[in-house]
Amino acid sequence: MADVVIGNVILTGALAVALILFVAASSGLSVLYTTRVRSELLYGAAEDIAQIVQQAYLLANNSQVKLGSNITQELRLPYEIAGYGYTITVTNSPLKIGTISDTRVTVLTVTLAFAGVPGSASSSVLVGANINWYSTVTVYASQSLGLLIDKCTGVPGNHPICPDIAGDIGIAFYLNGKVID
């Protein structure tokens, strides 16, 4: 009879340990899964924005678009991704191949980051060296956020997003009709 009691005590302890391990493992896996899903959603949105910027650049850089023309493109972004607000940052740098920089190509990197929780994702696209990305600030996503693209040659010298360099394509975020700087 003592063997049965000892066996029950051992098995009950083993069952309790197994239950605790199962709960801990499933909780950890759910956190990993949630983080991965959020990252995938952010990456998809970053990729979409980067491609829109690249297409807008290619459109403005076309020889059939007159100098001094501007194009606006609404991004139509969701307010939240996976229930969280997010920010958008765009940076540009020359293309690097090993240790050599190719100044004829610019790499635009769009980075989205959640506001309030960890998580970010980036996507990069290639454009020409004649781009001037005006908005250097991080912006909060909204459904009215858009892009302003100007073919800068021939515009007045005090233009908000075009420097005095001939041939540049100026791109900036705009919100409610105003350039964000």
Look at residue 132 in the predicted model and tell me its pLDDT. 79
φ, ψ of residue 44 to 5 degrees: the values are: -60, -40
Query: pLDDT (tens digit, 9 = 90+) per residue, 108-151?
Result: 899 999 888 888 899 999 988 888 787 666 787 777 888 888 88
Distance between CA atoms of residues 42 and 89, nearest Å: 13
Residue 85 lies in a domain: yes
Beta bridge partners of 107: 93, 126
Pairing label, strands 169-175, 131-133: parallel
Q: Evaluate if residue 99 carries a pLDDT over 80.
A: yes
**pTM: predicted TM-score of the whole model, two decimal places:** 0.76
The residue range of the domain holding 97 is 38-179
Q: Read out DSSP for 77-92?
A: --S-BTTB-EEEEEEE
Residue 116 lies in a domain: yes
Residue 153 lies in a domain: yes
How many domains, the chain? 1
Look at residue 71 in the predicted model and tell me its pLDDT. 79
Q: For residue 151, is it left (φ>0), alpha (ψ between -120 and 50) or beta?
A: beta
Look at residue 155 in the predicted model and tell me its pLDDT. 59
Look at residue 2 in the predicted model and tell me its pLDDT. 67
Look at residue 17 in the predicted model and tell me its pLDDT. 81
Amino acid identity at 37: V
Q: Evaluate if residue 31 carries a pLDDT over 70.
A: yes
Residue 33 lies in a domain: no
Residue 7 lies in a domain: no
For residue 11, the SS3 value is helix
Look at residue 164 in the predicted model and tell me its pLDDT. 59
- Three-point CA angle 81, 123, 51, nearest 5°: 90
| Total residues found in the chain within this entry | 181
Query: pLDDT (tens digit, 9 = 90+) per residue, 34-93?
Result: 888 888 989 998 999 899 889 888 888 887 877 777 778 888 888 888 888 888 888 888
Residue 75 lies in a domain: yes
Residue 118 lies in a domain: yes
Distance between CA atoms of residues 30 and 86, nearest Å: 22
Residue 124 lies in a domain: yes
